[in-house]
Amino acid sequence: MPRRRLGRETAPTDTAGPQAGAAQDSLPDSESSSARALPAGLYLLATPIGAARDITLRALDILAQADVLAAEDTRSLRRLMDLHGIALRGRLLLAYHDHNGPRARPRLMAALAEGQSVAYASEAGTPMVADPGYRLVGDAAAAGHRVTAAPGASAALAALCVAGLPSDRFCFLGFPPSQKSARRRFAAEIATIPATLILYESPRRVRESLADLADTLGEERQGALCRELTKRHEEVIRGSLGQLRDQVAERELRGEIVLVLQRGTLPADDPEEIDRALVDGMKTMSLREAADHVARTRALPRREVYQRALTLRDRDAE
């Protein structure tokens, strides 16, 4: 099944950008890319999710210096390199994605074994986030090669920033299932996660997903629909799930979509059940360890659980 990705770099809205050569010329001679070789290893490059200037100077340096280049979509990477004035110079540019991973990975591993530097860029955004590169990272790390991230754009984090919901704890959930029954089960599973939820969704299914989420999580659960972030037609709609569902019901949405949802709450625990969990825990753990375990697994205030554990210990000692 084809994997779904965000933020394709097919039509960058920001056509101006610093040339790689200009960026290098601004460095001291001892720091210029021509004066130092890129150390051997695998480099993971975050690429823009829309605006072409949303790429770091470090990523441009790596693209200019790496011995071997790999990309989920080589055409997108070539356009990005052309836009920033980075020449291929006869270097190997290899496609690496879900469908050819078993064939392409050995070639990249061989380059690493020969002491070369390999740069991998996903289609858009940060590699390893809803992206096929994790097997390459795992193999490279297992073989003892250096693995370095050059961080940058991320649709999930960009949406979290603009959603207006708590960001101290969040959970990235990728794409919901495409089938309605599976999607409803998925919604039920995530309902009580005590963290802001981040989901990717296809514009073709977002209306159905919002309807199922509203039915399962409740129409009053707050959220934000973030569309085409960093692009010309960027849009953020905030409100309850019921309001989001109704606002997009008659619209034909286009582009890449991120849904950000208010955190859930766990149902109230039965005090007797908590006591049983503490008593069972203290049979094999210290009082503090048992209290920490119960508080963590049930998302309860640690101090209150600890005090309850002390009460149970004192009662049993009488």
Three state DSSP letters for 1-63: CCCCCCCCCCCCCCCCCCCHHHHHHCCCHHHCCCCCCCCCEEEEECECCCCCCCCCHHHHHHH
Mean pLDDT across 187-192:
89
Q: Find out whether 224 and 162 touch, Cβ atoms under 8 Å.
A: yes
Query: What pLDDT is attached to residue 20?
Result: 39
Same fold, 20-153 and 156-261: no
Question: Is 70 exceeded by the pLDDT of residue 6?
Answer: no
User: What would the pLDDT profile of 212-263 be if each residue is shown by its tens digit?
Assistant: 999 999 999 999 999 999 999 999 999 999 999 999 999 999 999 999 999 9
Question: Is 70 exceeded by the pLDDT of residue 50?
Answer: yes
**304 or 164, greater pLDDT:** 164
What is d(CA 257, CA 175) in angstroms, rounded to the nearest whole number? Answer: 10
pTM for this predicted structure: 0.74
Interior angle at CA 289, CA 285 and CA 294, nearest 5:
105
**216 or 36, greater pLDDT:** 216
Query: What pLDDT is attached to residue 26?
Result: 37
What is d(CA 311, CA 318) in angstroms, rounded to the nearest whole number? Answer: 11
Q: Please give the CATH topology (third level) of the domain spanning 156-261.
A: 3.30.950
Q: Find out whether 97 and 73 touch, Cβ atoms under 8 Å.
A: yes
Computed on alpha carbons and rounded to an integer, the radius of gyration of the chain in Å comes to 24
List the chain domain ranges.
20-153, 156-261, 271-317
Please provide the average confidence, as pLDDT, over all residues in the chain.
Answer: 87
What is d(CA 235, CA 104) in angstroms, rounded to the nearest whole number? Answer: 37
* CB neighbour list of residue 13: distance below 8 Å, 6 or more residues apart: 50, 51, 52, 230, 231, 232
What is d(CA 257, CA 88) in angstroms, rounded to the nearest whole number? Answer: 33
Q: Please give the CATH topology (third level) of the domain spanning 20-153.
A: Cobalt-precorrin-4 Transmethylase; domain 1 (3.40.1010)
Q: CA of 296: how far to CAs of 31, 57, 167, 293, 303, in Å?
A: 48, 41, 19, 5, 11
* CB neighbour list of residue 141: distance below 8 Å, 6 or more residues apart: 147
Query: What pLDDT is attached to residue 144?
Result: 98
* Helices within the chain (DSSP H only): 20-25, 57-65, 74-83, 101-113, 134-142, 155-163, 180-190, 206-217, 241-248, 271-282, 287-298, 302-317
Interior angle at CA 184, CA 181 and CA 185, nearest 5:
90
Distance linking the first and last C-alpha atoms of the chain: 63
- Position 3 confidence tier, pLDDT thresholds 50, 70, 90: very low
What is d(CA 103, CA 95) in angstroms, rounded to the nearest whole number? Answer: 10
